[in-house]
Amino acid sequence: MRRSMAKASVYTALNLMFFAVIGTALLALTYDLTHEPIARSEENEKLKLVTQIVPAAAYDNDIIKDTAQLAPDKLLGNDETTIAYRGRLNDQPSIAVLQVIAPDGYSGKIHFIIAIYRDGRIGGVRVVSHKETPGLGDYIEIAKNNWITGFNDTSLENHKDSDWQVKKDGGAFDYMAGATITPRAMVKAVHKALQYFAQHRDELFAQSPLSSLDKGRLGGVNSNLR
């Protein structure tokens, strides 16, 4: 009796192992077949997002590969190391793309990327992910409204500190009635990002590019929006 029970358990265990081995083999095969197209489409997606805010004329290098590592900073609103993309024209630094977080949106953090020319002018801003109310605060998405393009070409020079607020608070930036917390958070975070860039510009462009290993660990820009 005991013997047949032991036999049954061994059979069950072997059975389970057999299917686990087959399953693992299948997964390994699929991974092997798809990991290249996956890496390629992820790269393309990043490039699409980055090239939306970086004009093609502003760089001639492989901007997605030319990355720098930024330590967490209050001005960037993050507490993790992030990746910045660097555009160069004729081997001269021309533009940088930073990943920034506006921590005080209406429903939590708003993640966005910002392109800043070497002279401190904004090339463009795009929201990457947010949880703002659909239909109210989501006009910061380019798909819903072109409000976000209002940041283009602004800089610390052409907008003094008190301008970096929404018009309702006496600043220079538009907002929409019914949702002022969202644009307030965005304006504040963009202002801080410009300050960060002004302070760290030279070291950002001087840093040697990351190895692809580090990049995988850190994770670059990925949009969660359509």
Partner 1 sequence: MTYQEFKDIFYNGLWKQNTGVVQLLGMCPILAVSSSVVNGVSLGLATAVVMALSGAAIAPIRQVVPNEARIPVFILIIAVLVTVIQFAMNAYMYSLYVVLGIFIPLIVTNCIVLARIEAFASKNPALQSALDGLAMGFGLTAVLAVLGGIREIFGHGTLLSGIDLVFGEAAKSWVITVVPNYHGFLLAILPPGAFIVLGLLIAMKNWLNLRAERKVNATITIAVSSQTA
- What does DSSP say about strands 67-70 and 82-89: parallel, antiparallel, or unpaired? antiparallel
Tell me if 89 sits within 8 A of 66, measured CB to CB: no
- In the complex with partner 1, which residue's Cβ is closer, 38 or 71? 38
Tell me if 104 sits within 8 A of 188, measured CB to CB: yes
- In the complex with partner 1, which residue's Cβ is closer, 109 or 201? 109
| Structure token digits, residue 78 | 């993050």
Tell me if 115 sits within 8 A of 96, measured CB to CB: yes
- Distance in Å, CB of 107 to partner 1, minimum: 12
- In the complex with partner 1, which residue's Cβ is closer, 36 or 91? 36
- Distance in Å, CB of 95 to partner 1, minimum: 26
- Distance in Å, CB of 131 to partner 1, minimum: 12
In 3D space, the residue among 77, 53, 198, 71 whose CA is nearest the CA of residue 127 turns out to be 53
| Structure token digits, residue 218 | 């850190």
Q: Which helix (H) or strand (E) holds 111?
A: strand 108-117
**Site of interaction with partner 1 (CB under 8 A):** 8, 11-12, 15-16, 19-20, 23, 26-27, 30-31, 33-34, 37-38, 41-42, 44-45, 133-136, 222-224, 226
Spell out the residues 6+ positions from residue 176 whose beta carbon is closer than 8 angstroms to its own.
Answer: 139, 147, 183
- Distance in Å, CB of 187 to partner 1, minimum: 24
- In the complex with partner 1, which residue's Cβ is closer, 71 or 136? 136
176/168 Cα distance (integer angstroms): 10
- In the complex with partner 1, which residue's Cβ is closer, 46 or 118? 46
Backbone φ, ψ for residue 172 (5° rounding): -110, 0
- Distance in Å, CB of 128 to partner 1, minimum: 11
67/83 Cα distance (integer angstroms): 6
- Distance in Å, CB of 6 to partner 1, minimum: 14
- In the complex with partner 1, which residue's Cβ is closer, 37 or 170? 37
